[in-house]
């Protein structure tokens, strides 16, 4: 058993409510409506259809799910090959950093479009906004730059 405050391999399950909270907040589902319905394993790992308030964010959810699977793999490798157990706080922050890395990579594509394909700017910027800006969970636009939210959102209540 892992020491208190440390994760064993199965504690990656705690990442799912964290990610579900981010997607509910991105969809701007009011916090006062908590407890939110917990997403199913199929929705979390396999990408089956999201419930109605979240359906417009399926591309954002796909990116988040990919980051979760990647972090679970890295955490598992640390445990199996190095006998190193991540704390829950480290696991959650690493996941949030991985999600923001995806957003920053997407923003780099947008800025590349600014320089090389001016006619594609509206489409690239609209797509970026649709994925990363709703609810201000991940970032906020400040003129021609992006302010990233480096603190992951609080985990909501689920039923």
pLDDT in tens, 22-32: 999 999 998 88
Q: Is 131 within the bounds of a domain? A: yes
pLDDT of residue 6: 43
Domain count, the chain: 1
Residues 79, 86: Cα–Cα separation, whole Å: 8
Cα dihedral 148, 151, 152, 156 sign: negative
Residue 130 structural domain? 9-148
Instruction: Examine residue 157 and state whether it is found in any structural domain, yes or no.
Output: no
Q: In this structure, is residue 40 part of a structural domain? A: yes
Q: What value does the mean pLDDT take over residues 90-117?
A: 94
pLDDT attached to residue 150:
93
For 57-81, the pLDDT digits (tens) are 999 999 999 998 899 899 889 989 9
Per-residue model confidence as pLDDT tens digits over 115-142: 999 999 999 999 999 999 999 999 999 9
Q: Is residue 1 part of a domain?
A: no
Q: What percentage of the chain carries pLDDT values higher than 90?
A: 50
Mean pLDDT calculated for residue range 28-50: 86
| pLDDT confidence band for 154 (50 / 70 / 90) | confident
Separation of alpha carbons 41 and 141, rounded Å = 33
Contacts of 2 (CB under 8 A, 6+ apart): 8, 11, 85
Residue-averaged pLDDT of the chain? 87
């Amino acid at each position: 058993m892992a020491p208190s405050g440390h994760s064993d391999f199965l504690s990656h399950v705690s990442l799912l409510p964290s990610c579900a909270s981010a997607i509910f907040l991105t969809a701007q589902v009011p916090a006062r409506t908590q407890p939110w319905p917990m997403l199913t394993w199929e929705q979390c790992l396999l990408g089956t259809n999201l419930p109605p308030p979240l359906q417009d964010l399926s591309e954002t959810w796909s990116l988040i799910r990919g980051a979760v699977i990647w972090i679970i793999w890295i955490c598992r490798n640390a445990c199996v090959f190095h006998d190193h157990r991540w704390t829950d706080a480290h696991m959650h922050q690493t996941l949030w950093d991985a999600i923001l890395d995806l957003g920053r990579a997407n923003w780099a594509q947008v800025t590349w479009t600014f320089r090389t394909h001016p006619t594609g700017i509206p489409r690239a910027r609209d797509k970026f906004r649709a994925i990363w800006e709703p609810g201000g969970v991940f970032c906020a636009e400040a003129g021609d730059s992006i302010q990233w939210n480096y603190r992951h959102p609080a985990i909501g209540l689920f039923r």
